[in-house]
Each structure stands twice: as structure tokens, then as C-alpha cells.
Amino acid sequence: MLVQSRVEFSLMTTRASFNPFSAAPLVVVVSFERLAAAALGPYGNQWVETPHLDRLVMEGVLFERLISHDPDLGTTPAWWSKGLQLLEASALAGQANRCRLFVEKESQFAQKNLLEKQPALLNSQVEFVSGVDGLDVAPSQFPFPKLISCGVEWLKQLDSRIDPSGGPKDDDQGAKPHWLWLHSRGIPKPWLPPEELADLYFGDFEDQGWALEEIDSSEWGELWPVYGSYASLIDHALGVLVEELRVLAATRPVQLLLFAAAGELIESIHPGSERIQGLEVMSFRPPLIYWESGCEFNIPKEQGPLASAQNVEACSGAVFPAGSRWSMLLNEDDVAVTIERFLRKNHHSLPTLQDYAEEKFPCREHVIWQATARQWRGVVTPGYVYLSSQAQEDSQGIGEGLTNSPNDQIREQPWSDPIRRPLDTELERLHLLPDDPWLLLNEAAQSQDLVFEMRQILEGQTPAGAGNLSE
């Protein structure tokens, strides 16, 4: 509550004397290598607690169908290449101090790619951030919270350039945007979040019929309750970033784009190795969330998680009204072009997310994808996924090597006939809900208890002023 009061006071006092559009805009990009959309509350998962992302989506925009070109990450995402080009261009233009890329040091993909293709950026605009994974590690020392801490510190330095009277201390007026890019591995395997945090999910899931005593201890780091606790850890760190952006939004326009390159392959998520049909979809459906200052609205604690007509109407002048959801098919090229438009304001023939929303371009009818490490390929349409496969052989993934084309790793072997499966988020749910209707009715009370205990764990080892998980 103290953090919320500080933010609201800052917004009120600063807005009274300052025009946000007199300072250079700020663009913030948060990218993950692997994060399953189905693990997040905004995408309908009622088991995993992600309250900060839930609120962010109610204030911003959620895109439900971003499709990865390569769910095995054996090829470089288009937005990664475009982002590095934009960083290099800013350096050549003498504006290197306006852009910064922080990368988790544990990302083998980022290290290899930067060293091989953009070594010059390592001397100026790129900084590696090191953290520690482990069951006994404090939450604040994990790679992603450390990454967020570095990003927030950079933003605070940016905020210090604004004079308390409301004017910019430097010559930001009319200048090009400042750009902060935070790149994370996402959730790596094996999943090793703080043990006491994971135990909360284990206890809750045992109450719902998970026979955890039947699971071998060696499989502990690949169980979905553990994945859920890691997602909650990421959500808590994101809350720290978003609170800082709300403060900065009083002095300049702010845009935030959060997305991942791929989701997570589901082999089995239930004790007894019960196969869940259709869950392969999770491996190439990552999250995509957009938020901008000026369209957020305060949600009273007594109000439900649905955006009211009045709140949406207040932002009806924006391309993306607050609280809106879009089900258009998108791929990584659309994300790359959108980032470029944010930073350069260029108008060219390739469509951005805004162009699709304004119907300046027809939406994609399908997305072609290729899973390099599993020799899968297919097509995603608005209603179905079509899967074809080859006999699997050894292949490289994102941590072992990169290719210029998905076809580089395809053997001359026959492909199976396509198998059609529905593109249905109900099939992708990370955790199965119990059949007992009484347990379903009691789910809300259980979730509140879980949030309270998680807050005790996370905030007990997080610096003061880092946000409140229950808000």
C-alpha cells in the first residue's frame, strides 16, 4: 500500500505542472526466450498466481495468438535481429546513451549471438546481468529479478533528468525515444525456483488430487506446479518494473511491449504420464502484452477483473483501448516491425500490430512454423493446427547453435500426413482443474490464501518498495 500511495502522489503532483509530451518518449521491451502463455493468469490459467500481469493486461492489451516460427528456438527470432540492428543504428547516430540492452548472463543464445554477430555492442549498449538459480536461493537473487533491478536502476537515472518543477534537465524535447530492452531466458529447465515457493503449489495441488508421492524425486524439477511457482516469481519482479513505469509516465509517454519467442513443450503434466491431447500447441504460443501510458485506469479492489464499458470508453481514442483482447494471428515478424515503428516512426509496407487493428492490412490467414529439434513443421490457422513430422535425429537447439533458415536442419526424409488439431486454449491449460464441483467453487478462497503466503515469501526477501503481490 505504501508503494501504491507513493506512485499515486507522484502522478498527481507531477501531472499538475508538467506536460508528459514535452519530454522524449520511453519504449521498454521485455523479451523472453521461452515462456508459456498458458502459464499466465491473463491467458486464462486459474491455478498460477500472476497478479501483476493480470493488472497490466487490464490496463493494457493482450494478444492471444502470437505464434513462434520455431518453437525449438533453433533459429534466431526476427525481433532479436531487428533489435540489434536498431541498437547499432543508434550507436552510429551518436545516440548510444539513449538505448540499453540488459541480458541475463545465463542466456547461452544471447551470448553466442552477440559475440558472433554484434561484438561492438558489448562495449557500449549491452550489459550482462548475472543471477543464481537454485532451491535455496533468495528470490531477489534469481536471474530475472536481478535483470529487472538493473533495468529499474537505469530508469531511475533517466527519471533524474526531469527537473522537479516539471521541465527536462537535458534537451529531450522533440528528441528520439529512450529505449530500454530487457532480455531473459524465461523459465529454463530444470525448473529450480525457491523451494518454499514451489512447496506452496505442491501443497495446493495435493489438495486437488495430485498424487505427488508417486513422483520420483529426480523428476521434481520438471513438474508443472514448479513451473507455476517460477511464473509467479517472474510476475513479482515484473511488478517492480511496472510500478517504476507508472512513475515515469507522469513525465513522458511510455510504451511497454512484453513477449516471448516460444512457449513450452508439454510432454505430460499429470501424475501417471497421462497424455493431454493438443498440448503441443503450448510450445509455439507465447505471450504478447502491450501497455501504454495515458490509457491505464485504476481498478478498485472491490471490482472484478473485467474492464468496464466506462473504462474502455475513456480510452476509445487509442488504437488499443485499455483492457482489450485481440485474437488475430501474429508472428515474430509483426513484433519486430512494431518495435521499429515505436523507435523510428517509419512508415513502410510491413504491417505493425496497430496497422492490423486499424484494418490497414488484412490479418494473417495462417502462420507457417518449423520445430527444428523435433523435425516438426506445420501451419496454424485461426481454428486449427496442422502437424507433420519426420523421424527424429540429433539436432541443435538455441543453446547449441544457430541457423539461418529452418530448412538448414531438415533431412531428406518423408513427412507424415498432417494431423489436424483444434487451436483451443482449453486444451492448453497448464493445470487440470478438479472434477469435484465443490473444489471448483472453493477455488477463489484457496487462491487468496496462496497469494498471501507467496507475498510473505517474496516480499520477505525483496528490498522495501519493490511492490506488493496482492495489489
Is residue 374 over pLDDT 70?
yes
Give the helix, strand, coil percentages of the chain, each rounded to 5. Answer: 40, 15, 40
Is the entire prediction scored with pTM above 0.85? no
Query: What pLDDT was estimated at residue 460?
Result: 66
Give the number of other Cβ atoms within 10 Å of residue 355's Cβ.
17
Higher pLDDT, 128 or 387: 128
List the 376-380 sheet strands across, edge first: 367-371, 376-380, 384-389, 419-422
259 vs 119, more confident: 259
Please answer whether residues 113 and 86 qualify as being in contact, where contact means their C-beta atoms are separated by less than 8 angstroms: no
Q: How far is CA 42 from the centre of its chain?
A: 11
In tens, the pLDDT along 339-371 reads 999 998 776 678 999 999 988 999 999 999 888
User: What is the rounded CA–CA span in Å between residue 225 and residue 26?
Assistant: 36
CA 285, chain centre distance (Å):
12
Query: In sequence order, which residues have a C-beta less than 8 Å from that of residue 283 and are 6 or more positions away?
Result: 68, 71, 72, 262, 263, 264, 265, 266, 371
pLDDT band (50, 70, 90) for residue 165? very low
Q: Which pLDDT tens digit goes with each residue over 64-80?
A: 999 999 988 888 999 99
Grid cell digits, residue 269: 503434466
Pairing verdict, β 99-104 and 367-371:
unpaired
CATH superfamily of this structure's domain 2-363+430-460: Alkaline Phosphatase, subunit A (3.40.720.10)
Task: Determine the Cα–Cα distance for residues 173 and 176; give it in Å rounded to an integer.
Answer: 9
Q: What is the mean pLDDT of the chain?
A: 75
Residue 306 has pLDDT above 50, yes or no: no
